[in-house]
Amino acid sequence: MEKRLLPTKRIMVEVHDNIFVGSDLDFTKIAHRDGWSCLRCCKFGQSGHKELLGYSTQAAPEGPNKFVVVRGDRLMALNLLDLDDPNYVNKDMIKIGLAFIKYRLEQGDKVLVACNKGHSRGPSVALMFLRSIGDMPRGFIQAEKVFRTLYPEYSPKSGIRQFSRDVWDEIAPKEYTGE
C-alpha cells in the first residue's frame, strides 16, 4: 500500500455558499459529520478512488467505476491524478463530479471538494464548478485571479490547469456561451 503524508495544517476555505475546498486533513475532519458531503479529487489517500474500490493494481479496473466511485449518498471519489498531460483527465468524470456537487448542495449539504494537498485538483474542480453555476463569467485567466483571492492555496499543476482552460467555455451556463 502506498504511504502518503497528510498535510500538516487544515486549509479548508469556503469559496462560495456551502462549497469548501481543502485537503486530506480537512476531509478527515468532516468525513463523518452530518450535513457534509465530499468530492474526493484523488486516486490515492483516505477515501480516494483506489481505497474505495480496493484495487491493488496500478491502474483502476475496467468497468463502471473506472473513473468514479460513490459510497453512500455523500461521498464520491474521482480517479484523478495530478499529471502534466491534460489528456489524462476524463471529461465525463469531471462532469459527473460537478453534477454531484450541485446535487448535494440542492440536498442542503455543505460540500468539501478535496484532493490530497488542497493545491491543484480539488481547487481546480471547485473553480470549474463555480464556472458551471455562472459564478465565474469571465475568461479563464481572469477567473483564476479571482479564485486565488478566494482560495490562496490554489496552485494547479499543468495538466489539470490546461484541462480546465480547455473546457472553460463548454462548462459555462448557456447564457454565457450564447447557446
What integer is the mean pLDDT of 96-117?
A: 98
Tell me how far apart the terminal alpha carbons of the chain are, to the nearest angstrom: 47
Count of domains for the chain: 1
Has residue 93 been placed in a domain?
yes
Question: If residue 68 lies in a helix (H) or strand (E), which one and from where to where?
Answer: strand 68-71
Q: Is residue 179, in this structure, part of any structural domain at all?
A: no
Domain assignment present for residue 96? The answer is yes
Question: Under a CB-based contact definition with an 8 Å cutoff, are residues 117 and 23 in contact?
Answer: yes
Q: What is the pTM of this model?
A: 0.92
pLDDT, the chain, mean = 92
pLDDT for position 11: 82
The length of the chain, given as a count of residues: 179
Is the confidence at residue 92, as pLDDT, over 60? yes
Query: Is there a domain that residue 39 lies in?
Result: yes
pLDDT tens, residue by residue, 21-60: 999 999 999 999 999 999 999 999 999 999 999 999 999 9
23: in domain: yes
Domain membership of residue 7 (yes or no) is no
Domain that holds residue 126: 13-171
**Closest residue by Cα to residue 121 from 22, 50, 1, 19:** 22
Region of poorest pLDDT, from 2-6, 132-136, 157-161: 2-6
Each residue of 65-79: pLDDT tens digit?
Answer: 999 999 999 999 999
Say which CATH number the domain at 132 has. 3.90.190.10
Structure confidence at residue 80 (pLDDT): 97
Q: Please indicate, yes or no, if residue 157 is contained in any of the structural domains.
A: yes
Query: Could you tell me if residue 177 is inside a domain?
Result: no
